[in-house]
C-alpha cells in the first residue's frame, strides 16, 4: 500500500506542477497583452495631444526632481 500512495502523490504533484505552469503562462500572456494595450492607448493620446503630454512630463519631472533633492538633504 505505501507504494501505491507514493505513486498517487507523485501523480498529484505532477498534475499540480503542470496546472501551475499553465496558469503562469496564461497570467504572463494576459499581462503582456494588457501592457501592449496600455502602450498603444498612451501612444494614441500623446499623438492626439502632444502639448498636454509635454506638460505632464514636465510636471512629473519637476515633482520627481523635488523629491530626489529632498531625500538627498537628509
pLDDT in tens, 1-15: 577 777 777 777 776
CA dist 26 and 32 (Å) reads: 10
Q: Are 53 and 46 in contact (CB under 8 A)?
A: yes
What ranges do the domains of the chain cover? 2-72
CA dist 58 and 36 (Å) reads: 24
CA dist 50 and 43 (Å) reads: 10
pLDDT at 16 over 90: no
**Choice between 52 and 24, residue whose per-residue pLDDT is larger:** 52
pLDDT at 29 over 70: yes
Q: What is the pLDDT of residue 40?
A: 97
Q: What is the pLDDT of residue 74?
A: 62
Amino acid at each position: 500500500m505505501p507504494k501505491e500512495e507514493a505513486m498517487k502523490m507523485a501523480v498529484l504533484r505532477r498534475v499540480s506542477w503542470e496546472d501551475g505552469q499553465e496558469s503562469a503562462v496564461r497570467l504572463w500572456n494576459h499581462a503582456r497583452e494588457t501592457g501592449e494595450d496600455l502602450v498603444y492607448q498612451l501612444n494614441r493620446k500623446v499623438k492626439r495631444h502632444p502639448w498636454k503630454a509635454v506638460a505632464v512630463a514636465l510636471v512629473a519631472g519637476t515633482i520627481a526632481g523635488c523629491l530626489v533633492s529632498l531625500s538627498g538633504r537628509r
